[in-house]
């Protein structure tokens, strides 16, 4: 497995992004076993187990992550799983969550089985070669707050606040049925279901960027990805374009170019939005005058990131080892 481009001194931690659609018999039992594996390797992150497969993002020390990858891929069910690997200075998560859910990506389409039928996978180099053709439409399958921060040049960005809205919004693409549809998302998982759903809806020439934006950045330098890529960990946003980077997002408050993605300080709002550093100070971390004067406004955090209260977080919760002492020190 190829690691991301290293600096002179390799960083101590790795971040792993992965998914695999494959039937898992007795998925709740597998969730328990997988939870124990992550505990033993001191990993943190979010992992979803479902009858249809496995999806996760975890961080940990390099040796622990390498052991995790080796163990997961030793299971024949996950032999084809591909890890997107990035380096980090420290853990990018504050805790570990391993959950059993109905789907490994919340699309509201449990009947869609990508391991039976899905769009044609394009490796990053193939995607790059096709994306500018006249008979192609590039479609961003992520939520608006993600595509507002960054997207591929000339991409059609879906008007959705949540991926579950895809079935009711698919009509936006009807007029492009005569084109090759190239879908992309952060790591590839949403496109597995989205491209399969498009095929079901009568689209005939559907493709997906294998490994998503992250893999494209690692292998092709992120060329023509404009802005930053939103990620679901404490980093919030990462650079992927080292060839022709640009800024496409603007401050919600003043409209100046900015890539400063934050959560509104008003707990009732809490929306992901872009607020420049100057407006952050003036608005005390909120996105509007209404939120600034709201009684539910949190204390101003210039970073714009508000972690959930740990409430005595115990990483063993949900594990048969739950009686053991919590690793509270690991989540500070």
Q: Which residues pair with 207 in a beta bridge?
A: 120, 182
Measured distance between the N- and C-terminal CA atoms of the chain, rounded to whole angstroms: 31
Active site residue 191: no
What secondary structure does DSSP assign to 112-159, as a single string?
A: --TTTS-PEEE-HHHHHHHTT-TTEEEEE-S-HHHHHHEEETT-EE--
- Helix (H) or strand (E) run with residue 50 in it: strand 44-50
* Cα distance between residue 147 and residue 158, in whole Å: 8
Compute how many other C-beta atoms are within 10 angstroms of the C-beta atom of residue 221.
18
Asked if 231 and 157 touch (Cβ cutoff 8 Å), the reply is: no
Q: Which token pair is 147?
A: 């595509």
Cα torsion angle, 166, 167, 168, 174, sign: positive
**How large is the greatest C-alpha to C-alpha distance in the chain, in angstroms?**
61
Structure tokens at 154: 């000339």
β-pair partners for 181: 137, 206
Query: Which residue is catalytic, options 185, 251, 264, 291?
Result: 185
Catalytic residues: 185
């Amino acid at each position: 497995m190829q690691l991301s481009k290293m600096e002179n001194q390799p960083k101590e931690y790795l971040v792993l992004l992965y998914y695999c659609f494959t039937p898992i018999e007795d998925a709740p039992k597998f969730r328990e076993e997988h939870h124990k594996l992550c505990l033993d390797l001191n990993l943190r992150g979010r992992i979803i187990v479902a009858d249809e497969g496995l999806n996760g993002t975890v961080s940990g020390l390099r040796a622990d992550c390498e052991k995790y990858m080796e163990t997961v891929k030793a299971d024949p069910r996950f032999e084809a799983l591909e890890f997107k690997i990035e380096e980090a200075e420290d853990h990018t998560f504050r805790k570990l969550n391993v959950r059993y859910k109905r789907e490994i990506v919340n699309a509201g389409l449990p009947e869609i089985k990508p391991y039976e039928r899905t769009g044609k996978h394009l490796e990053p180099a193939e995607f790059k070669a096709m994306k500018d053709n006249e008979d192609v439409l590039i479609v961003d399958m992520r939520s608006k707050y993600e595509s507002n921060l960054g997207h591929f040049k000339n991409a059609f960005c879906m008007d959705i606040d949540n991926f579950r809205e895809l079935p009711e919004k698919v009509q936006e693409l009807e007029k492009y049925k005569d084109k090759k549809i190239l879908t992309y998302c952060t790591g590839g998982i949403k496109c597995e279901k989205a491209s399969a759903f498009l095929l079901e809806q009568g689209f005939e020439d559907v493709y997906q960027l294998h490994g998503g934006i992250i893999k494209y950045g690692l292998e092709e330098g992120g060329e023509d990805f404009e802005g930053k890529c939103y990620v679901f960990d404490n980093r919030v946003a990462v650079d992927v374009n080292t060839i022709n980077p640009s800024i496409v997002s603007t401050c919600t408050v003043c409209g100046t170019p900015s890539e400063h993605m934050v959560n509104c300080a008003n707990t009732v709002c809490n929306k992901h939005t872009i607020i420049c550093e100057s407006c952050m100070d003036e608005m005390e971390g909120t996105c509007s005058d209404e939120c600034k004067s709201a009684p539910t406004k949190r204390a101003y955090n210039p970073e714009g990131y508000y972690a959930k209260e740990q409430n005595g977080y115990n990483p063993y919760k949900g594990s048969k080892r739950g009686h053991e002492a919590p690793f509270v020190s690991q989540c500070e």
